[in-house]
Chains A and B, each alone.
Chain A
Amino acid sequence: MAHVEEHDHHEELPFWRKYIFSEDHKVIAKQYMFSGIFWAIIGASLSILFRLQLGFPDMKLEWLRPILGGWIDESGRLDPEFYLALVTMHGTIMVFFVLTAGLSGTFSNFLIPLQVGARDMASGFLNMLSYWFFFVSSLLMFFSLFIETGPASGGWVIYPPLSALPQAMSGSGLGMTLWLLSMAIFIVSQLLGGINYITTVINLRTRGMSFSKLPLTIWAFLLTAILGLISFPVLLSAALLLIFDRSMGTSFYLSEIYIGGEALPNVGGSPILFQHLFWFLGHPEVYIVLLPALGITSEIIATNSRKPIFGYRAMIASMIGIAFLAFIVWAHHMFVTGMNPFLGSIFMFLTLIIAVPSAVKAFNYITTLWRGNIVFTPAMLFSIGLVSFFISGGLTGIILGNSALDIQLHDTYFVVAHFHLVMGAASAFGFLAGVYHWFPKFFGRMMNKTLGYIHFWFTFVGIYLVFFPMHYIGIAGFPRRYYSFTTYEAFRTFGDLNMFVSLAAIMTFSAQFLFLWNFFYSIFKGKKAPLNPWKSNTLEWTTPLHPGHGNWPGEIPPVYRWAYDYSKPGANDDFIPQNVPYSQTPESNLPHENALIALEKEIEAQNYNDQFKQPH
């Protein structure tokens, strides 16, 4: 076997190639992580602003004028149109920039090569492009926050005609143009990233790493990338057609409109077409956001319960099931848009089926805890919190997916509460759990555990305090995206509850500064991490403390077993890493595993799959 220390031959790259325009997946992952955190702060701050309006409608906000300028009117109140801009940008930023780019971008990039045993992504260059497209898209979106007419304000779903007609609201002018441009570039970035993830998982697995031995994180990232690759182009086409409608006089989405004292010439288009296209991405997007979080959770729960994940195959099957169903349920967002009611019943049926694989996942997580030996690292706490949110938020989906019940609840706070728990909070917890868990691998240092505990409890309790009462507001019929509820007699109740929710939101938001402090402090001053701090089985912990370009100094280790041999009966330790051959653990092998010893030679003789070398 050739044993050349390949990476030693690399010349030292200049700073800007090493840390800025880097092609190394670990650096790119960090770039995504910092960008994601930056956007999360902005996105969360926007939500605090509109929660102030909702919780304290009479509050004087003059103190915000230095930042918001004219958006605070003469009487010291938030401008109603700016309120809509806030909810729109909060949604856009959180869904796309934080939970799609921030979550997948960070962990798919970081973990795929490390956990499948690859030197780097299949194409480091495309990977770099992916980040920098994302960066440009971020710049445009960030810039749109500061223009005079305000950023896009028609809701994150940007339904035309509202988003198509600048005369309908000021945010539909330049702000919307920037939004569309930014999203178009964002989609390019996602596609470049996605192709890379898929290619890497399929082609660059190390010797012995068959699909049936892949950690569930990788399965989740792979399926996420496939979802994105199929659905994002549809959003791109929706956005392009909207750009045409806005700037080139086409009528894809516009028909029979009389606005601003004139009848527009457009006829024959359909706003419903946009909704179909949008939700064809929009629904899989929910899973693009959630699946990586579930993958991360699977890994963390198994590791810290010191138990194999329960039902590994069922977990994969349910993820595949969810990923497949994700494409054929989109119209449950459109039950009351005037879509054919027959279509509504089909989509109700398909939507409720999704509850089955989701339930299987939840039960499997719970059973993994059963008779474990649970170590509560901060990552573990966030993972358990995630499972709780996934259950609590997922259950209300059973109500909303039922078209007859959706009539009353559609576009009320019930929906807001539902998706914030199941996709927002759950995915954010996935991100946080991932950061806590892999921080030693990212930076070679440990985060402070105690601060992590406090951060968790404030955030976990806070999020429930925010979103649990929000269901009540929704059942009472309060519509979303309302600047204030005082116009209606039916919605005048619950002023106190809205105030409570706002206070809880402020508390939760404040608690995040604990995390930020812990995060940045630990990068520089954290305790030096051991090589495998959580006694985990996956390959990334076999790399050096600060893995260089190429990840492993020598050969890439081959893989002999699945990632979940925790607490195996007979074994000396309560974990057996994936790269330990069965021939070395005769004391703990199960009968069928003894038969696999014969295959070890075969695995070792396999093609290296090492990008840095010529294959034999």
Chain B
Amino acid sequence: MVYVVGLLSLVFLVLAILVLTRLTSVLKGVNGGDTTEDIEQIGSGNRVNAMLFMVFFITGAIAAAWSFIHASKFFLPEASSPHGRHTDGLFWLVMAIITIAFVVTNALLFFFAYKYQYRKNHKATYYPENHKLELIWTVIPAVVMAVLVFTGWRAWRDITKDAPENALAIEIVGKQFNWEMRYPGVDNNKLGNYNYKLIDANNSLGIDLEDEASFDDFTVSSEMHIPVNRPVLLKIRAKDVLHSVFIPHMRVKMDAVPGMPTRFWFIADKTTNDMRNETGNQSFKYEIACTEVCGKGHFSMRTTLVVDDEDSYKEWVAKQKPWLTNNPDYLARVPEKLKAKAAKYIPTDSAATPADSTAAPAQEGAGGAPSASLR
């Protein structure tokens, strides 16, 4: 690769020198009698530049159109949420408006540069202002902006309004450098309290066992499962530094802030399998990325998201064991009066060695470049 780069820079350099020598000789021929008195005598350089603006505009427009069409298959990956399709529609609407403005203004800019290039014995038109014209081009953008603000605001309002009552609340916690999820469990459908001071090697989310709602909560760190067509409310936290939950296909993005829980709710309406069929890619997976720089492993903070149909989701949930079941030692943390309630989650053979937590925190730099190491 290095040779390619070297070669190309060399080519550019040679090209530059070539053009340079050509142009100088042309100019020399024209401006032979340069005096310091009239040093800025306007030569053929002016015509060349005017021409180049037109050439640039035309080839640029063709290149832009071609590359746009060529690249568009990767644009805005297939949206799998209703709000995502709505904002995609808005995006293309605004895109259409600005493309028109982009083409028209740039065309005028370059065309005027070409058309009104210096001509000998010609005088420019003294045209300092025209209030009517200025008013028109103040009002038109203002009206367009008003429309865009209105449509954008409505979409934003719908996206950010409170989640529906029946939304499934899932906690997603960012840390250097992976995500962990906590589900409300099957018995009470409520996430228990947490406290960052309770975090330790096993209790990586700081689950507070003084709250009985947390007994049936279960945690996962490998992949996130959500049911299709049901509102899902992400309760987002960060343990160490800022992170940001980004699910490209769901058009979901929200920062994870230490000390300030955030939220984002959405409906996924295509299961992973639907997407596999739709895209024709049998290994398709929804992915969760981090979009707030968080350190060395920022680029590899990946988790997959599985959108199940209702049955498979139930099946998956049924297979998950509450966190307390996996960590029976923590029964000691449960207050006396709730011990009886908690006991139900403790494996009957409590003498057996407790199973490893499914939420065992991945080691630092998980998924990072294997060769990379801290110095």
A contacts, CB < 8 Å to B: 52, 56, 58-60, 63, 70, 73-75, 77, 79-81, 84, 148, 154-155, 159, 161-162, 165, 168-170, 254-259, 263, 267-272, 305-314, 336-338, 341, 344-345, 348-349, 352-353, 355-356, 359-360, 362-367, 369-377, 381, 384, 387-388, 391-392, 395-396, 398-399, 402-405, 407-408, 410-412, 446, 449-451, 453-454, 457-458, 460-461, 464, 468-469, 472, 475-477, 479-485, 487-491, 493-494, 497, 503, 506-507, 510-511, 514, 527-530, 533-535, 564, 566-569, 574
Contact = CB atoms under 8 A, between A and B. Distances in A.
B52 A399 contact: no
Contact of B152 (A384, A404, A457): A404
Interface of B: 1-2, 5, 8-9, 12-13, 16, 19-20, 23-24, 27, 36-40, 42, 45-46, 48-50, 52-53, 56, 60, 64, 67-68, 71, 74-77, 84, 87, 90-91, 94-95, 97-98, 101-102, 105-106, 108-110, 112-113, 116-119, 122-130, 133-134, 137-138, 141-142, 145, 148-149, 152-153, 155-157, 159-160, 175-176, 196-197, 199, 206, 236, 239-242, 244, 246, 248-249, 251-255, 257-260, 262-263, 283-285, 287, 289-300, 302, 367-369, 371-375
B137 A503 contact: no
A453 B299 contact: no
A477 to B, nearest CB: 4
A349 B371 contact: no
Given A256-B196, A259-B176, A398-B98, 9 more contacts: A56-B2, A256-B259, A272-B260, A307-B124, A345-B157, A391-B105, A449-B27, A458-B12, A568-B126
A475 B138 contact: no
A169 B372 CA distance: 14
A487 B367 contact: yes
B372 A79 contact: yes
Nearest to B101: A395
Contacts of B122: 373
Nearest to A570: B126
Contacts of B145: 352-353, 355-356, 398
Nearest to A534: B40
23 contacts: A80-B296, A257-B239, A257-B241, A268-B259, A270-B259, A306-B124, A311-B130, A338-B262, A345-B156, A348-B152, A371-B116, A371-B125, A371-B127, A373-B118, A391-B106, A402-B94, A404-B159, A408-B251, A468-B64, A472-B71, A476-B71, A529-B39, A564-B128
A163 to B, nearest CB: 9
A403 B76 contact: no
Nearest to B34: A527
A407 B155 CA distance: 11
A485 B299 contact: yes
B310 to A, nearest CB: 26
Contacts of B289: 479, 488, 490-491
A168 B291 contact: no
Nearest to A313: B129
A270 B260 contact: yes
Nearest to A405: B91
A348 B156 contact: yes
A529 B142 CA distance: 46
A336 B244 contact: yes
A337 B239 CA distance: 16
Given A369-B109, A392-B102, A530-B37, A490 B125 contact: no
